[in-house]
């Protein structure tokens, strides 16, 4: 009897040891929070925090790199789209970010050495430009990363036009390049983030020459102007080109994304009109007039230019150049009201002419803004 009781005690002790070992080896994250709750908490964090947390536990890294998590994060990010304000000074690119739906909200400001030209629009968080040699470079402002791409396969020996696109179905960015100073029937395309990362040649179906810097990517399709009354389209996913005609009586302006559809701004002096693409296959456009935000001060129209349309229903007007300070106008056509974002310059600027009175003495800076940045 005593031996049996001793064995029972030994077995009980051994069982307790096993339970203790399991508890020690069991990941603390599963003891603390369920996986769904951990994922929900990470979804509510800023993008930069999510990037940093990828380097901490393997569980968080696996969650934040999952395709479903990324799509869910992008969907929530649309509620907090930003406006990026960029200008260059002494070879350094300065970037200022604000939330579009707030009156004035500073998100971040930073700088890095820059010698680049020809920006594209902000497409699902990425912006593309060329360096001095003409090679395309991809910029991720949120991660503050620059990606240099392989050299183009085609040697066009001329300047190139770049169009950044995003396929929302497969969740992939693609960059498409064509020559901008002569007609061509082929383009070069590269898929960003792919294992191969090499350029491939794609037929354009229609020989054309790019004429205007006005490309837009809307719902997985890149649109850009080529001739006086022609718009080219490029489906990012299937990599197929198309042509869209526009009536010759329309006074052409820039292309914008208007409520998820392509629109052309009528730049005639007597009208404030948008021509909205209703059916690309039938080349059908509709028109919509809107009030001028400048009222009786039409002279301001020469100083401010329309940049685009925000997801909250506001037109954005920006000055092309500025000296010490600048205003960016947000105009609501429904309420016929506007608000402004004032940029007062850099407090650490040591350039004497930057603070001199009189526009003749002040240095001017080129300005570029990027709407609806995720």
Cα–Cα distance measured from residue 138 to residue 155, given in angstroms and rounded to the nearest whole number: 20
pLDDT in tens, 288-316: 888 777 765 666 667 788 888 988 889 99
Helix intervals (H) in 55-172: 58-64, 67-77
- How much of the chain, in percent, has pLDDT values that exceed 90? 16
Cβ-contact 274, 288 below 8 angstroms: yes
Per-residue burial over 12-48, b if 16 or more Cβ lie within 10 Å, else e, is eeeeeeeeeeeeeeeeeeeeeeeeeebbeebbeeeee
CA distance 244 to 276: 12
Global confidence as pTM = 0.76
- Going from N- to C-terminal start, the domains of the chain cover 24-80, 115-251
267: tokens are: 């730049």
Q: Which of 206, 315, 207 is closest to 259 using CA atoms?
A: 315
Please give the Cα distance from 329 to 315 (Å, whole number): 8
The mean pLDDT of 13-28, rounded to a whole number, is 52
pLDDT band, very low/low/confident/very high, at 182 (cuts 50, 70, 90): confident
Which of the residue ranges 51-60, 276-285, 306-315 would you say has the lowest mean pLDDT? 51-60
> 69-115 pLDDT, tens per residue?
776 766 665 557 888 888 777 777 778 888 777 654 444 555 555 55
Tokens describing residue 360: 């003749």
**pLDDT confidence bin for 349, thresholds 50/70/90:** low
Question: What secondary structure letter does DSSP report for 320?
Answer: S
pLDDT band at 31, cuts 50/70/90? very low
Q: What is the pLDDT of residue 175?
A: 94
User: What are the pLDDT digits (tens) for 199-224?
Assistant: 999 999 888 888 766 689 999 999 99
Provide the pLDDT for residue 359: 42
> 132 or 14: which carries more pLDDT confidence?
132
pLDDT level of residue 274 (50, 70, 90 thresholds): confident
| Residue with the larger pLDDT of the pair 104 and 178 | 178
Hey, what are 208's tokens?
A: 């054309």
Q: Find the helix or strand (DSSP H, E) in which 319 lies.
A: strand 315-319
If one counts every other C-beta atom within 10 angstroms of the C-beta of residue 6, the result is 10
Tell me which fold the domain 115-251 belongs to.
Neuraminidase (2.120.10)
């Amino acid at each position: 009897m005593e031996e049996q009781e001793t064995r029972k005690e030994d077995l009980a002790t051994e069982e307790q040891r096993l339970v203790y070992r399991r508890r020690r080896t069991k990941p603390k994250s599963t003891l603390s929070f369920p996986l769904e709750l951990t994922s929900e908490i990470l979804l509510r964090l800023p993008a930069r925090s999510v990037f940093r947390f990828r380097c901490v536990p393997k569980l968080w890294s696996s969650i934040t790199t999952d395709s479903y998590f990324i799509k869910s994060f992008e969907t929530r990010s649309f509620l907090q789209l930003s406006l990026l304000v960029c200008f260059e000074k002494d070879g350094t690119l300065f970037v200022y970010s604000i939330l579009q739906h707030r009156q004035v909200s500073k998100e971040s400001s930073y700088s890095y050495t820059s010698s680049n030209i020809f920006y594209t629009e902000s497409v699902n968080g990425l912006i593309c430009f060329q360096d001095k040699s003409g090679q395309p470079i991809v910029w991720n402002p949120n991660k503050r990363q620059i990606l240099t791409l392989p050299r183009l396969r085609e040697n066009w020996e001329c300047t190139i036009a770049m169009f950044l696109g995003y396929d929302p179905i497969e969740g992939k960015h693609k960059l498409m390049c064509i020559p901008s100073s002569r007609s061509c029937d082929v383009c070069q395309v590269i898929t960003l983030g792919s294992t191969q990362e090499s350029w491939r040649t794609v037929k354009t179906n229609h020989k054309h020459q790019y004429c205007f810097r006005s490309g837009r990517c809307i719902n997985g399709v890149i649109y850009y102007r080529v001739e006086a009354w022609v718009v080219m389209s490029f489906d990012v996913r299937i990599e197929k080109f198309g042509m869209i005609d526009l009536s010759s009586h329309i006074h052409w302006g820039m292309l914008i994304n208007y409520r998820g559809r392509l629109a052309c701004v009528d730049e005639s002096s007597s009208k404030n009109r948008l021509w909205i693409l209703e059916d690309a296959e039938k080349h059908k456009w509709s028109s919509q007039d809107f009030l001028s935000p400048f009222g009786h001060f039409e002279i301001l129209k020469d100083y401010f230019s329309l940049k685009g349309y925000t997801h909250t229903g506001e037109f954005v007007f920006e000055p092309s150049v500025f000296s010490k300070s600048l205003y960016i106008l947000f105009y609501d056509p429904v309420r016929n009201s506007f608000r402004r974002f004032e940029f007062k310059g850099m407090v650490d600027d040591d350039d004497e002419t930057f603070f001199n009175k009189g526009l003749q003495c002040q240095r001017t800076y080129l300005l570029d803004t990027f709407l609806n940045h995720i």
